Amino acid sequence: MATDKITHDELLRLNALVDGELAPGEHAALAARLVSDREFARAYATLARLKACVVENADAAPTVSITMPAAAKRSWRRPVLQLGAAAAAAGGLMVLFALTNLPPHRQPAPILMSAQAAITLAALPQTPVIPDLEVAGLRLAGATIDMAGQSRVLVATYLGPRGCRLELRVRPEDSVSLPAEGTDRRAWTVGGLAYELVAYGMPAARFAAISEAAERMTRDSRFPNTVDRRLREARVAAPPCLA
C-alpha cells in the first residue's frame, strides 16, 4: 500500500499543515521535507485539494431560505423549542417553565427537562397540557421521554407529601400505548394526543376525583371553579397512598 511510505505521525502533521495548525518551527521543517520528498509533496497536494473541494461544496450549497422567528415573539407556535434552546445552552438540563399549556391564572410548575425531550415534544401533533395538581397536594416533580415502539411518550410524574405518585403519559393518539403497572388508570384523547393518568397506590375515590379534574383541564383551557373544588376535596381527609 502506497500510504505505508508515509507514517501515521507524518500523516497527522500533513493534515495539520493543510489546516494551518502547525507551529512555525514544525511548519518550516515540514516545508523543507515537501521540497525534497516527492511522495510527501503529492500527499500534501492531495490533502489540500480534498480540503479545498469540501469547502467548495459547502460554498456551492443551494441558497437556503430560513424563516427567522422574531426574537420578541416569545410565543412561537412550538414553544417547546424555546425551552430546548435554553436547555442546550445550559449544557443539557434546565428548569422548564413554559412547556405546557396551563390554565391562564395558574403558574406552571417547573419541570426538569432535557433538550432531547424538548425536541421530541415539538414533534407531537399538539402541545401537551400538563395539569397543575398542586391544589390536590400533588407536585409536578419532573418529565421524561420513554419509548413505546417507534413512538416517544412524555411521562410527567406528580408526587404527594405522603407517598402518593401519579404518572401522566401523553403520546400521539395513533401510537402504541406504553404498558404501565399502576394500581389505577384513566385514559382519554384530546386533539390528536392520547392521555393516560396512572396511579400508584392512591385510594380509588381520590384518584377518580383527581383524574376527572385532570381530564377536564386538558380539554378546557379555562379552569372552572368546580374543578378546583374537586381537587381540594380530593385532598382533604384522604388516607395516605399505599405505594
Closer to another protein by CB, 56 or 181: give it: 56
Q: How far apart are CA 122 and CA 79, in angstroms?
A: 8
AA identity, residue 25: G
- Of 30, 34, 112, 119, the residue at the interface with another protein (CB under 8 A) is 119
Taking the complex as a whole, how short is the minimal distance between the CB of residue 70 and another protein, in angstroms? Answer: 8
Candidate residues 30, 81, 145, 194; the one interacting with another protein per rule CB under 8 A = 81
Among 23, 35, 60, 237, binds another protein (CB under 8 A): 60
Least distance from another protein to the Cβ atom of residue 69, Å: 5
Binding residue for another protein, selected from 28, 89, 204, 205, defined by CB under 8 A = 89
Which spans in the chain are helix H? 8-18, 24-36, 38-59, 79-89, 115-122, 204-219, 225-235
Q: Can you state the angle between helices 204-219 and 225-235, rounded to 10 degrees? A: 160
The tally of CA atoms less than 13 A away on the side-chain side of residue 81 is 10
Any idea what the Cα angle at residue 32 is, between residues 30 and 38, rounded to 5°?
A: 90
Give the nearer residue to another protein in terms of CB position, either 95 or 204: 95
Decide: is 34 part of the binding site for another protein (CB under 8 A). Answer: no
- φ, ψ of residue 97 to 5 degrees: the values are -105, -15
Q: Is 54 in the site for another protein (CB under 8 A)?
A: yes
Record the cell numbers describing residue 193, joined without a space. 394526543
Total Cβ atoms within 10 A of residue 120: 17
CB of 123 to another protein, least distance (A): 10
Give the SS3 label for residue 203: coil
Give the range of 48-56, 168-176, 187-195, 211-219 binding another protein by CB under 8 A: 48-56
Q: Is 70 in the site for another protein (CB under 8 A)?
A: yes
Q: Determine if 222 is a binding residue for another protein (CB under 8 A).
A: no
Phi then psi for 148, rounded to 5 degrees? -135, 95
β-pair partners for 171: 194
Determine if 55 is a binding residue for another protein (CB under 8 A).
yes
145 interacts with another protein by CB under 8 A: no
Residues that bind another protein (CB under 8 A): 1-3, 6, 8, 11-12, 14-16, 19, 21, 39, 42-43, 45-47, 49-51, 53-72, 74, 76, 78, 81-86, 88-90, 115-116, 119, 122
